[in-house]
């Protein structure tokens, strides 16, 4: 086999090799080969191809097996290395899972890719508000945002607005454990919701934690009244490093709502 086509969407061509021969005892075809999946960093020792072929023949059939190394799994199928249910894919199995099993699994956050699959399936069901809130609370130490993202993506944020508001009020991004599970700020996730507004939840959160920038940014971009602006403006700013960003957010809010610096409507020109 020769090199792949140059200039394609996947970048420059890389050689694909497959060496074939007849087994001297069985007289069946056997073979082996491999191909790189991208530019290879020079190494002191050659470790062989990242992915490889094996070919063998029996009296009844021929088989070509393709195996991929860890680098391929990370670059082409991110996350699948950590999903045990790969064959058949987890997506094809969860439809037969009970709601309780989905909830039990999501009560113990794992890899984001796997949790997203479970959360998307759960979002198709109709768990009670209390059940959903219990899952949110159980994930408080090692949250990765999968469940909230799945609910928003499914257009069900309005259905579970009560549970989400309670989650937003109690969420804290603190501690070394949370830094091991980085994910978008929860207010950034709910900013994608079109069926419900969480400005009240953002303002409530800022009363507890004036330097919650995610809540501030949500309120500044979603707040719709002069009272929302004044509530945002009057909050104390404890973190000097956030002051420029907060000031910028307030200026954009004033411009959007047509307000002066005190939160009064500008006179029509």
Give mean pLDDT in consecutive 10-residue pieces for the chain, a chain of 269 residues: 44 68 90 73 66 86 79 55 80 95 92 92 95 92 90 96 95 52 82 96 93 92 96 84 89 96 87
pLDDT of residue 81: 65
pLDDT of residue 12: 46
pTM value is 0.72
CA 111 to chain centre: 10
pLDDT of residue 103: 96
pLDDT of residue 176: 38
pLDDT of residue 99: 96
pLDDT of residue 268: 75
Q: Which residues have CB under 8 Å from 42's CB, separation 6+?
A: none
pLDDT of residue 59: 87
Listed by start position, the domains of the chain span: 17-76, 79-194, 197-269
pLDDT of residue 181: 47
Length of the chain measured in residues:
269
Edge-first strand order for the sheet with 29-35 is 17-22, 29-35, 51-57, 62-68
pLDDT of residue 240: 80
Q: Which residues have CB under 8 Å from 145's CB, separation 6+?
A: 112, 183, 184, 186, 189
pLDDT of residue 86: 77
CA pair distance 6, 13, nearest whole angstrom: 5
Give the burial string for 177-202 (b: 16+ CB within 10 Å, else e): ebeeeebebbbebbbebeebbbbebb
pLDDT of residue 169: 93
């Amino acid at each position: 086999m020769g090199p792949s086509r140059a200039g394609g969407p996947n970048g420059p061509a890389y050689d694909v090799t497959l060496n074939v021969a007849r087994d001297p005892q069985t007289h069946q075809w056997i073979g082996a080969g491999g191909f790189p999946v991208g530019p290879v960093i020079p190494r002191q020792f050659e470790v062989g191809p990242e992915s490889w072929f094996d070919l063998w023949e029996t009296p009844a059939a021929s088989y070509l097996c393709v195996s991929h190394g860890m680098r391929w799994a990370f670059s082409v199928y991110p996350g699948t290395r950590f999903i045990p249910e790969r064959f058949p894919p987890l997506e094809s199995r969860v439809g037969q899972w009970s709601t309780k099993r989905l909830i039990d699994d999501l009560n113990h956050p794992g890899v984001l890719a796997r949790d997203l699959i479970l959360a998307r399936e759960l979002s198709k069901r109709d768990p009670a508000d209390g059940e959903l809130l219990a899952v949110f609370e159980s994930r408080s130490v090692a949250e990765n945002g999968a469940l909230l993202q799945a609910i928003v993506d499914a257009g069900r944020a309005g259905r579970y607005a009560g549970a989400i508001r309670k989650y937003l009020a109690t969420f804290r991004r603190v501690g070394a454990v949370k830094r091991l599970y980085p994910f978008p700020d929860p207010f950034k996730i709910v900013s994608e919701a079109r069926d419900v507004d969480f400005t009240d939840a953002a303002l409530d959160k800022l009363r507890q934690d004036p330097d919650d920038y995610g809540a501030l940014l949500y309120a500044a971009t979603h707040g719709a009244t002069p009272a929302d602006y004044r509530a945002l403006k009057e909050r104390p700013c404890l973190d000097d490093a956030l002051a420029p960003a907060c000031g910028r957010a307030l200026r954009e809010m004033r411009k959007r709502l047509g307000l002066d610096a005190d939160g009064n409507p500008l006179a029509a020109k």
